[in-house]
Amino acid sequence: MNIAEFKLERYFAKYEFTTRYLLSCSDCDGYPLSYVLDQATTKERNLWDKLTLGYTESEGNIHLREAISDQYTSISPSEIVVASPGELNFILMNRLLHTGDHVICMSPAYQSLFEVARSLGTELSFWQPNPDNWHFDPDELAALIRPNTRMIIINFPHNPTGAFPSRDELDRIVDLARRQGIYLFSDEMYRSLLHGETEEIPSVCDLYEKGISLWGMAKTFGLAGLRMGWLACKDTQILQQILAFKDYLSICNSAPSEILSLIALRHQDAFVQPNLTKIRKNLSLFQAFVRKHESWIQCIPSQAGSTAFAKLHISESSLDFGERLVRETGIMLVPAEMFEYGQAHIRIGFGRENFSEVLTVFGQWLLKQSK
């Protein structure tokens, strides 16, 4: 298959490990290995200490899948496949989609959510939000459905806008898919990162027989380096197809990553709550920053997740703005072009401890531009 370059990941590769400040990361600061092991019970630590570095079960360690199934209301360990989130996304679309199928994906979106489908020869439609409040209207989704619609791809909490639906809106989305037997693929990588009065919604896999939920350790848990995620789905035939495809890719998972993921899932408050505290603090700091620099930037408050999508009041493109900023200050921003969504927005990430320091440098630079 021929697939386009992953713009966002190539952009990160250019700057992520060389520049001084990162203001657009969607993950939170990674936890040290020692911190993860400090949370373990004696039994869990024993699993780690006696770990051997051989092959693992293709579908994932049974103890890990049991811990994952505890996150859902109706999913059993046999209805879960564990792998890298990106790998699972790639495999799922290769198994379910064919040339001529119609696919609907939210936009703006993480590129792999639509690029893999596009590379397979599908017809793509994009469900876009109201730019005044980032609300995704289910009625507008309904208008995009065709007789040959094979899959609807959603992502809540939404990257990059921070949009989040009500339970009623999610039920309407599920109902739209169910009416025509459409697969509903739900990227839930930012699950549980809720702000303020936002109320949690169920996972799609718990609501719909053709609902497929993706989650993992990178965003919610601050453990991106484990490269661990999973698909949960009531349709076990799909999961068997994914396993058969996985044999040509990773075959099985990293044994250390499985045990560390198990520990984190069984002690998730120790990972999620510090991340939430950091995100909420940085959200408040950024709102004050926007008020101070309103001639340069505006931002609809994020409802959930670890990102927001801010609009710049500039004459140049957001890509050119970002290139100047990183060159002159060492601050990396992700421009709207990386999401194929115009040239006026930038993603802001709230999961880093040095957020206040970066905002100070950014603000000083903006003041110089005003002179």
| pLDDT at 201 > cutoff 70 | yes
34 CB burial (10 A radius; 0-12, 13-18, 19+): exposed
Predicted TM-score (pTM) of this structure: 0.96
- Read off the pLDDT band of 226 (50, 70, 90): very high
Compute the distance between CA of residue 220 and CA of residue 19 in angstroms, rounded to an integer: 25
Which pLDDT score, from 0 to 100, does residue 196 have? Answer: 82
Written as six digits, the tokens of 22 are 């990162």
Report how far apart, in Å, the C-alpha atoms of 241 and of each of 26, 80, 91, 99, 320 are: 30, 13, 9, 18, 43
- Cis, bond preceding 274 (omega within 30 deg of 0): no
From the list 261, 275, 286, the residue with the least C-alpha distance to 355 is 286
Q: Is the dihedral angle over the CA atoms 38, 215, 250, 12 positive or is it negative?
A: negative
3-state SS track over 242-254: HHHHHCCCCCCCC
Question: Cβ atoms within 10 A of the Cβ of 199, count?
Answer: 9
**CA-based angle 226:198:86, to the nearest 5?**
25
Yes or no: say if 240 and 89 are a contact pair by the CB < 8 Å rule: no
Return the amino acid letter for 7: K
Q: Which residues pair with 356 in a beta bridge?
A: none
Mean pLDDT for all residues in the chain: 97
Under DSSP, the state recorded for 156 is: S
From the list 136, 234, 139, 135, the residue with the least C-alpha distance to 183 is 234
- Read off the pLDDT band of 141 (50, 70, 90): very high
Report how far apart, in Å, the C-alpha atoms of 345 and of each of 59, 145, 296, 317, 318 are: 39, 28, 11, 9, 6
- Read off the pLDDT band of 206 (50, 70, 90): very high
Average pLDDT over residues 8-19: 93
- Read off the pLDDT band of 1 (50, 70, 90): confident
DSSP annotation string for 19-30: SSEES--SSPPP
- The continuous run of DSSP H or E covering 228 comes out as none
From the list 111, 178, 99, the residue with the least C-alpha distance to 145 is 178
Residues in contact with 191: Cβ distance below 8 Å, sequence separation at least 6, in sequence order: 157, 203, 215, 220
Average pLDDT over residues 262-284: 98
Which pLDDT score, from 0 to 100, does residue 371 have? Answer: 64
In this structure, the chain runs to a length of 371
- Read off the pLDDT band of 182 (50, 70, 90): very high
Q: Which tens digits make up the pLDDT trace of 117-128? A: 999 999 999 999
Please state, for a pLDDT cut of 70, what percent of the chain lies above it: 100
Compute the distance between CA of residue 309 and CA of residue 322 in angstroms, rounded to an integer: 14
Yes or no: say if 159 and 345 are a contact pair by the CB < 8 Å rule: no
- Read off the pLDDT band of 17 (50, 70, 90): very high
Q: Which tens digits make up the pLDDT trace of 23-68? A: 999 999 999 999 999 999 999 999 999 999 999 999 999 999 999 9
- Read off the pLDDT band of 155 (50, 70, 90): very high
| pLDDT at 307 > cutoff 90 | yes
Compute the distance between CA of residue 164 and CA of residue 150 in angstroms, rounded to an integer: 24
